[in-house]
Amino acid sequence: RKDHRALPQHDHAEVNRRGARHAGLGLGVRAVYPPSNPPHRVDGRGQEPELRQAASWVRSKPGRRCADPGRHHRRRHPTPSNHVPTRFPITSYLFPEIGRRRNAHLEKNPDANIISLGIGDTTMPIPDHILSGLVGAASELGVKETYSGYGAEQGKAGLREKIASKLYNDKIKPEEVFVSDGAKCDIARLQMMFGSKVISAVQDPSYPVYVDTSVMMGQTGTMDTDKSQFDNIVYMPCNPGNGFFPDLKSMPRADVIYFCSPNNPTGAAATKSQLTELVKHASEQVHILTF
């Protein structure tokens, strides 16, 4: 169908769903919306015609194809002149790439003894006192009298009280504790709060999610393939030459500093004096420090 406005509502959902699947494969895909929402072009590298051509073909129904169903709508609803098309640099998450290289090396060298520095994994069973707590809490959900439904958005009150008292010696209040679902999600939520106009500073090397979420939020420019680094990100070298602590005096201006100690992947832990210097620097230069 040439005009996507003629598509029933469920067809729009199908086009969007399939488009998202293509996006996961690294193709640049235009998001297709119902007529009430003018479409914004989202493509993989911006202007390459072969990607645009690949992106324009999405399946609206089994056995039926439509070429860029939003193009007629864009003629009637042109993109605002101040709108900058979003660009998502096509890159790879670090740990799967390490896994692919490791497996390729093992195919050629099956007897190689590899110490993997890729994604970490657990190697020991869960202790009994933790496992029994998990089993007990799960069992309560199967009984009407103890069923609780959704938990508190900050985490269970009893758990937050224990964290505040046992781990922080009551130096913080339970209300200041947030039990989340993991570091990746937390970092992404912070990036969403900061938005796309900020410049982030990260340790080099560092946990890859800091950079990945900056890319996803549209904060970065193009990638320098020789250095494997993005424009509009401040990389703070942390290596044996500087004691694994960045030279803050020569550091370019950034809005947000992400600092992880002990560092991932080096394991280097900053001293109290170094952390004091970092906080002082962030206060004087009006940085947001995410520790």
pLDDT single digits (tens) 228-276: 899 999 999 999 999 999 999 999 989 999 999 999 888 999 999 999 9
Q: Which residue in 132, 126, 94, 123 sits closest to 208, CA to CA? A: 94
**pLDDT, tens digit (0-9, with 9 covering 90-100), for 74-91:** 444 444 444 444 444 445
State the pLDDT at residue 170: 95
Selection from 75, 69, 61, 73 nearest residue 36 by Cα? 73
Report residue 38's pLDDT band, with 50, 70 and 90 as the boundaries. Answer: very low
- Alpha-carbon torsion (77, 83, 84, 87), positive or negative: negative
Per-residue model confidence as pLDDT tens digits over 12-25:
444 444 444 433 43
The C-alpha atoms of residue 133 and residue 109 are separated, in whole angstroms, by 44
Whether the pLDDT of residue 155 is over 50: the answer is yes
Band (pLDDT 50/70/90 cuts) for residue 149 is confident
Interatomic CA distance for residues 95 and 212, integer angstroms:
12
Helices (H) and strands (E) in the chain, counts: 9, 10
